[in-house]
A and B are shown apart, each in its own frame.
Chain A
Amino acid sequence: MAVKYTEDHEWISVDGDVGTVGITKYAAEQLGDVVFVETPDSGSTYKKGDDMAVVESVKAASDVYAPVSGEITEGNPALAETPETVNEDPEGTGWFCKIKLSDAGELESLMDEAAYKSFCEGL
């Protein structure tokens, strides 16, 4: 189950036709302490690149973009009460939502782990 990354620091881990989405460790570190997360509602649909979620830290409020197009099957209910999960485990229990992909071909344009790592080093 390969994890793919966007230039906007979202990750997506696909299992079958459902992808789990979150923000990367790099993004979580840049944001600093996360204090609020708004995850998308189940059943809502997004096109790749749409504003999908909001993450607010002590420094800034940022939009999280949909890494692929599809329909939300689940938001992470834990983040409402414990937004710090995003800092503690951004690429694990700090996931934002699960999305049912409408076009698996869109994954092709995303970066793999090595490519994302070198992308971050260039920032």
Chain B
Amino acid sequence: MAMNSSGRRTAPVSASNDETHTVSGSRGLLQREDLIFEFGSTKETGVDLPEPGGKPDRLGGVSRSRDVELPGLSEPETVRHYVRLSQRNYAIDLGLFPLGSCTMKHNPRLNERMARLPGFADVHPMQPQSTAQGALELIDQLASWLTTLTGMPAVAMSPKAGAHGELCGMLAIRKALEARGELDTRRRVLVPASAHGTNPATAIQCGFTVDEIGADARGRVDMAELREKLTDGADVAGIMLTNPNTCGLFETDIREIADLIHDAGGYFYCDGANFNAIMGRVRPGDLGIDAMHINLHKTFSTPHGGGGPGSGPTVLSEALAPFTPVPFIVRDEDGTFHLVEEDREEAEQSFGRMTAFHGQMGMFVRALSYMLSHGADGLKQAAEDAVLNANYIQARLKSVMTPAFDGYCMHEALFSDAFAADDIETIDIAKALIDEGYHPMTMYFPLVVHGAMLIEPTETESKAELDRFCEALESVAQRAASGDPSMKAAPMLAPIRRLDETRAARKPILKWTPPEPEAIAAE
């Protein structure tokens, strides 16, 4: 076994091999699945079309000289391949998804039904506006819910996901600075150490430089450091902050942070990824925020991960509203809606256009369906229950795991690896949790906590399900504390065992290559 300089193994331990082998390679009803290239044949096809005849070759000299050699399968083989793969996937429809910072909540089926109504599902972005009034009204209504929930006057609906929303907010800030004639002098964006990685990336993408602010012992923005960084703040464009932050904590000094940044002449961008914890309770507009994206695919239950496109509408304050990107929707006096498509006249100061069309229509329908079925009081309760669930997990596990910070958390519970024996690392705990039938929590993030484990149960889970999850994690945590060496080989029971992530990262194989002809002959 190769060791690195710290004596840590560079490859995973292979478990003692006491398994029962099968001839087929399947295990029980969990069937063996090879790569499609390995069992498909280039000679077969699932469709049987007659050779076209009598047509002149119009490709000239560029027609293909040899076969593409894609694997071919019959229709039932194709269906089985993908159904088997889908059965190995872990999904929110299979079980609790504790990934922190991701808000993996249940996607109500009602939303799916609404999004499939033909009038919404079949709408085309280029059809005449007079024939899509219902769709435009829906976007306008959703926009109105978002501005009401956030206490902000304007919203850009077109951003396609969280980081795209960040880009929208920062481009609005950039345009506002340009309008003030200060774009050349205000270059610095403050970003806390615990920020989502996309925050500094967005600032750089917009041409700013990033100045990092440390966290204090409470896991919140170090106010002394912030004040120091703002003492000569004439070059500050703004701050990008997440609230609740990525430690799952509410930034209690947020009003003061807003005042400090505004006094220095900068703008306040808030990453709204964690809005699920505060919707209906706190309006970001009241906190002095100038721009914030909202992940419809987190807070408002539209599918995400492998399940569907994100959507990141971005709310803007009075100061930034004039710079809203096109297109946006205006309601005319006669009750009809029209899209403002050009950055002139009604949108003279707009910073421009971010997307070809108007945003993720299917996600808009799902989000509004979620809002209308919950009502204002229901949304507030969802936020409260999300916080309650996370605190339940923190309270139940704190005797066996180490909470990263004292006190109550918001929507996610953060633990460090301090409770684990020296040999056991966070990744071993995550892998052991797979054997217990759960997707692992977010690990090694945020970076400010050693061996971080971030758990966000969301409001979706019942107390009974939380208890089952806690029991599983408790037992894993106890094994970690006692230094159980078998955890190094986990997962033992998953279809694929522990992968050598180091080797995969150092020597990635990104392309399937056919086996050498000799190898085939030898078989």
Contact mask for chain B residues 240-274; partner A; CB cutoff 8 A; 1 contact, 0 none = 00000000000000000000000000000000000
Find the A residue at minimum CB distance from B445.
Answer: A60
CB neighbours of B131 from chain A (8 A):
none
User: Does A28 have its Cβ within 8 Å of any Cβ on chain B?
Assistant: yes
Nearest Cβ on chain A to B30's Cβ, whole angstroms: 28
Judged by a CB distance under 8 angstroms, whether B399 is at the interface is no
Determine whether the beta carbon of B4 is less than 8 Å from that of A35. no
The answer, among B5, B6, B447, B505, for a CB contact under 8 Å with A58, is B505
A84 contacts B4, CB within 8 Å? yes
A99 and B139 alpha carbons, distance in the complex (Å): 56
Output the residue of A83, A87, A89 with the most chain B CB within 10 A.
Answer: A87
User: What are the interface flags for A15-50 relative to B under an 8 Å C-beta threshold, 1 for contact and 0 otherwise?
Assistant: 000000000010011001101100000000000000
C-beta contact mask, A65-109 vs B, less than 8 Å → 1, else 0? 000000000000000000110011110000000000000000000
Chain B residues with CB below 8 A from A60, complex form = 444, 447
Give Cα distance in the complex from A36 to B501, angstroms. 13
Given A33-B10, A35-B506, the answer on whether A87 and B501 have CB atoms closer than 8 Å is no
A59 within 8 A of B: yes
**How many residues of B sit at the interface, in one of the four size bands?**
10 to 19
Given A35-B502, A35-B506, A36-B505, does the pair A89, B5 have CB atoms closer than 8 Å? yes
When distances are taken between beta carbons in the complex, the residues of chain A under 8 Å from B8 are 29, 32-33
On whether the beta carbons of B501 and A88 are closer than 8 Å, the reply is no
Q: Quick check: A84 and B506 within 8 Å, CB to CB?
A: yes
A59 → chain B, closest Cβ, in Å? 5
Name the residue on B nearest A61 (C-beta): B197
CA distance A54 to B338 in the complex (A): 48
Contact A59 B5 (CB under 8 A): no
Residue contact A87 to B447, C-beta cutoff 8 Å:
no
CA distance in complex: A59, B444 (Å)? 6
- Say how far B404's CB is from chain A's closest CB, in angstroms: 16
- A residues less than 8 Å from B444 (CB atoms): 59-60
Q: Which residues of B contact A58 (CB under 8 A)?
A: 427, 501-502, 505
Residue of chain A at shortest CB distance from B426: A59
State the CA gap A84–B4 with chains docked (Å): 8
- Check if A28 sits within 8 Å of B5, measured CB to CB: yes
Instruction: Indicate with 1 or 0, residue by residue over B479-523, a CB within 8 angstroms of chain A CB atoms.
Output: 000000000000000000000011001100000000000000000
Contact of A29 with B5 in the complex, beta carbons under 8 Å: yes
B10 touches A84 (CB 8 A): yes
- Complex contact B5–A87 (CB within 8 A): yes
Using Cβ atoms and an 8 Å threshold, which residues of chain B touch A36? 505-506
Q: Does B505 lie within 8 Å of A88, measured CB to CB?
A: no
Check A88 against B506 for contact (C-beta < 8 Å): no
B212 to chain A, nearest CB (A): 10
Nearest Cβ on chain B to A93's Cβ, whole angstroms: 11
Give the residue among B5, B8, B10, B447 with the most A Cβ atoms within 10 A.
B5
Instruction: Report the minimum CB–CB distance from A103 to chain B (whole Å).
Output: 22
A33 with B4, Cβ < 8 A, contacts A58-B501, A58-B505, A83-B506 known: yes
Residue in B closest to A87 when the chains form the complex, CB atoms:
B4
- CB atoms of B502 and A29 under 8 A apart: no
Tell me the bound Cα distance from A28 to B10 in angstroms: 13
- Judge whether A25 and B502 touch: CB under 8 Å: no
Q: Which residues of B contact A84 (CB under 8 A)?
A: 4, 10, 506
B505-A35 in contact (CB<8A): yes
- In the assembled complex, the CB of A11 is this many whole angstroms from the nearest CB of chain B, namely 14
* A29 x B10 contact (CB < 8 A): no
A87 CA / B5 CA spacing, docked (Å): 6
Task: State how many angstroms separate the Cβ of A28 from the closest Cβ of chain B.
Answer: 7
A88 and B427 alpha carbons, distance in the complex (Å):
21
| Residues in B whose Cβ lies below 8 Å from that of A25 | 5-6
Q: How far is the CA of A35 from the CA of B10 in the complex (A)?
A: 11
Residues 360 to 419 of chain B near chain A (Cβ within 8 Å): none
Q: How far is the CB of B196 from chain A (nearest CB, A)?
A: 14
Bound form: Cα–Cα A36–B507 in Å: 10
Chain B residue at minimal CB-CB distance from A89: B5
User: Given the complex, which residues of B lie within 8 Å of A33, measured CB to CB?
Assistant: 4, 8, 10, 501-502, 505-506
CB-defined contacts of B502 to chain A, threshold 8 Å:
33, 35, 58
Q: Which residues of B contact A32 (CB under 8 A)?
A: 8, 425
B167 CB → nearest A CB, Å:
21
Residue from the set A56, A59, A83 with the largest chain B CB neighbour count within 10 Å:
A59
Q: Name which residue of chain B comes closest to A26, CB basis.
A: B6
Chain A residues with Cβ below 8 Å from B506 are 33, 35-36, 83-84
Assuming the A-B contacts A35-B505, A35-B506, are A88 and B4 also in contact, with contact meaning beta carbons closer than 8 angstroms in the complex?
A: yes
Chain B residues contacting A28 (CB-CB under 8 Å) are 4-6
A-chain residues with CB within 8 Å of residue B447 when the two chains form the complex:
60
B505: A residues at CB distance < 8 A: 33, 35-36, 56, 58
Contact bitstring B114-142, A, C-beta under 8 A = 1, else 0: 00000000000000000000000000000
A33 and B427 alpha carbons, distance in the complex (Å) = 13
Q: How far is the CA of A65 from the CA of B84 in the complex (A)?
A: 48
Q: Which residues does B use to contact A, with CB under 8 Å?
A: 4-6, 8, 10, 425, 427, 444, 447, 501-502, 505-506
Instruction: Using CB atoms and an 8 Å cutoff, list the residues of chain A in contact with chain B.
Output: 25, 28-29, 32-33, 35-36, 56, 58-60, 83-84, 87-90
Identify 23 residue pairs between A and B in the complex whose beta-carbon atoms are under 8 Å apart, listed by A's number. Answer: A25-B6, A28-B4, A28-B5, A28-B6, A29-B6, A32-B8, A32-B425, A33-B4, A33-B10, A33-B505, A35-B502, A35-B505, A35-B506, A36-B505, A58-B505, A60-B447, A84-B10, A84-B506, A87-B6, A87-B10, A88-B4, A89-B5, A90-B5
Q: Nearest 5 pairs between A and B by C-beta?
A: A35-B505, A87-B4, A33-B502, A29-B6, A59-B444
| Apart from A29-B5, A29-B6, 11 more pairs, CB < 8 Å | A25-B5, A32-B425, A33-B4, A33-B502, A33-B506, A35-B502, A35-B505, A59-B427, A59-B444, A87-B4, A88-B5
